[in-house]
Amino acid sequence: MESDKARALRIVQNSELAHPGLPLVEAFLNDAADGDQAARYLLQTYADDGSGTNLTRFLKDWQDLQRLYDLLGAFTTSFHRDLLKDQPPENQIRNHWTLSNDIAIAFSRGAIKLEKLEGTEYDILYNHIGGKSPPFYQGREYVWKCDLIDHSNSGVETPNPDLVEIHSRFSRALKWSEIATKINSRPCLRQSRNTDCSSFGRTISTIFLALWSKFPDSIRFQTYRILRTIGYRLYGSTTTGIQRLPFGMYLKHGPEFHAKRHAGEFNALKVVGSQTCIPIPRPIDLLLTDTESFLVTSRIKGGPVGLAIDECSDEEMQRMAQDLRSWVAELHAIKMDKHPKYAITNATGGPCLDYRIGGDPVGPFHTEREFSESLQLGILPDLVHRTDHRIVFTHADLNMRNILVNNGRISGIVDWENAGWFPEYWEYTKCHFGVMYSKRWLKMIEVVFENKYEAELAIEKQYWAYNSAW
């Protein structure tokens, strides 16, 4: 039999609430002390005349806390509700904390919460909502604890654990409420992005790069090494083998066996840049020694869509889907050589590097049948893809890290090392690869690809369950 909470969640998830209405209601139901009690309160108190539930009215009350006393009792318990009512002065003093400013702000906005362990010990947890974690939490993702005990020997009482629990339960709703306020306080659609493919600045850059490429390799290598050191001091480094440089550049560097990988990406950027208007990094330089490989590209302003997606409005998500659908169509329109030796290849015509398949390059493949057979698993001998798809140029790693967003618009697509010629479904299934929890991302991907490759995705998911590089 369906529980009250499950029924309420089903009703909410089938509704058409403007973002972030859905996660706000889900926070009320999932984080409540008794989810069934919270669900009954929601369904009964906010029933409308049409035997449905007025979720818009509930959201207003939940965000504004206009029905604070009743809502609190439904969300926590009557004990917790009464605890907050008419606190005596000594208890108010007891629950005043001294925190650093940045942590106090994060705590008050629900970015972090405390989860009780033993005695006065707590885990400090970050609610992964609404973008990049604050600097004070970075590097503490796995173990960050605190002990709410008086270390001064002054007899100061510890904070009331019941109040700490109330905050912990409220924290996600607090964070989503802050996001709702941000979305509602700005224009429906933020500043548009310039997609002009033929600017004067681009011409100047082309001339400069042509001149720079005439310098000896040794001078260019040494210049990039110096810039790498400066870039590390200016910007730090978060990803092995990738360094932001001054003057609007990025460097991918590694041992000599990365040369083919870097060459594949360099060539992919040249092909896409010459035949489409997709916003991509400009390929600047490709260098190789006996021990090192350098790929230098321009930098694109923006951050990963995975960090921005929570704070984007529904209108912005719709526009992103339209842009992405247009650019995928441009990619698929890129022409292959008239008489290619292989059908499935990387951007240089060589082996394909794809982490869905493995860590080492595979192929190239003469036909789609060869490629499909290479994906088969012995444990699933009858499971195989069709072999009559169009072969199209593909990014092959369109995920929430590689699509950049600035001011509510897609500003660029990066990391083209996996790009090449693949069956037309490959782009769609790779957008799902490794994604489990981001409903908004997957909903956008369905709009982009118009649900064309559901059968292929079903096959891929069975493969992933048994054999994945991740």
CA distances from 315 to 192, 199, 321, 438 (A): 13, 29, 10, 18
Residues 385-398, mean pLDDT to the nearest whole number: 95
Start-end of H helices in 14-100: 21-30, 35-45, 55-64, 68-75, 78-83, 89-94
Give me the residue label for tokens 């390799």: 217
H/E run at residue 282: none
Q: What is the pLDDT of residues 251-264, one digit of tens each?
A: 999 998 899 999 99
Q: Which of 171-180, 202-211, 314-323 has the lowest mean pLDDT?
A: 202-211
Closest CA to 328 of 445, 441, 435: 445
pLDDT of residue 210: 80
Residue 460 and residue 430 in contact, taking contact as beta carbons nearer than 8 Å = no
Cα-to-chain-centroid distance, residue 334: 28
Residues in CB range of 413: below 8 A, 6 or more apart: 278, 279, 280, 327, 395, 398, 402, 403, 404
Confidence of residue 427 (pLDDT cuts 50, 70, 90): very high
- Give the separation between CA 387 and CA 368, rounded to whole angstroms: 6
Q: 49 versus 291: which is more confidently predicted?
A: 291
Calculate what percentage of the chain has a pLDDT beyond 70. Answer: 85
> pLDDT at position 149, please?
76
Q: Is the Cβ–Cβ distance between 220 and 284 less than 8 Å?
A: no
CB atoms within 10 A of CB 343: 19
Q: Distance between CA atoms of 65 and 71, rounded to whole angstroms?
A: 8
Is the distance from CB of 367 to CB of 150 less than 8 angstroms? no
Smallest CA-to-CA distance from 349 within 256, 258, 263, 259 is with 263
pLDDT at position 281 is 95
- Nearest Cα neighbor of 234 from 244, 225, 248, 224 is 244
Q: Where are the alpha helices (DSSP H) in 186-290?
A: 200-212, 217-235, 259-275
Q: H helices of 282-383, where?
A: 305-308, 314-332, 368-375
The pTM is what?
Answer: 0.86
pLDDT at 268 over 80: yes
Kindly report the average pLDDT of the chain as a whole number: 85
Mean pLDDT, residues 140-168 taken together? 76
- Residue 421 in this model has a pLDDT that exceeds 90: yes
Task: Out of 10-24, 83-97, 129-143, 420-434, give the one with best mean pLDDT.
Answer: 420-434
Give the residue-averaged pLDDT of 99-124: 85
**Bridge-based pairing state of the strands 345-346 and 403-406:** unpaired
Which domains, from first to last, does the chain contain? 1-86 (no CATH), 94-187 (no CATH), 200-298 (3.30.200.20), 303-466 (3.90.1200)
The answer to whether residues 359 and 338 touch, using CB atoms and an 8 Å cutoff, is: no
CB-count burial class (<10 Å; 0-12, 13-18, 19+) for 88: exposed
Q: Give the Cα separation of 393 and 415 in Å (integer).
A: 15
DSSP 309: G
Q: Which two tokens stand for residue 130?
A: 């609404």
Neighbours of 10 (CB within 10 A): 11
Q: Compute the distance between CA of residue 125 and CA of residue 142 in angstroms, rounded to an integer.
A: 9
Nearest-Å Rg of the Cα atoms of the chain is 27
Q: Which two tokens stand for residue 16?
A: 């058409």
Q: Read off the pLDDT band of 144 (50, 70, 90).
A: confident
In the predicted model, is pLDDT for residue 120 greater than 90?
no
